[in-house]
Amino acid sequence: MPTDTMPLDRMRLDKWLWAARFFKTRSLATQAIDNGRVKLNGERVKPARDVKPGDRLDLRIGEVDWTLTVQALAMQRGPAPVAQALYAEDPASQARRQQQASDRKLAASPAAALKGRPTKRDRRQIHRFTGE
């Protein structure tokens, strides 16, 4: 049983994802692993699989893809700066995430496709355009 004085060399994958703040709860991390959204060293694994420093993780959270290398392990969930020190993101993954974010900003909002009646702002633009 590890104590605070003994350094960790392995820990459960779901617990590490929770401690690194990728998921708000361990049960959400477990669900993501069970659904195949988390791969450890390129293969699908179970939530109880041990993760150790140097392992590579591929995560898909929503529409965002992450490629990470585990740098450290933590027994408990800490503040965001501490959690960010637990992993290193691949530069290609970081560039891909930023590109995905900019693509989402430029995409039309889903509400625009479901429009029914024009809003007050839309009516004003229509009146300006038609000259009424």
Query: pLDDT tens, 81-117?
Result: 999 999 999 999 999 999 988 888 887 666 666 667 8
Residue boundaries of the structural domains of the chain: 1-97
Backbone angles phi, psi at 89, to 5 degrees: -90, 140
- CATH number corresponding to 1-97: 3.10.290.10
In the predicted structure, residue 3 carries a pLDDT above the cut 50:
no
Question: pTM for this structure?
Answer: 0.75
Q: Which residues of 4-21 are buried (b: 16+ CB within 10 A; e: fewer)?
A: eeeeeeebbbbbbbbbbb
Beta-carbon-side half-sphere exposure of residue 7 (alpha carbons within 13 Å): 4
What is the sign of the dihedral through the CA atoms of 39, 73, 47 and 22?
Answer: negative
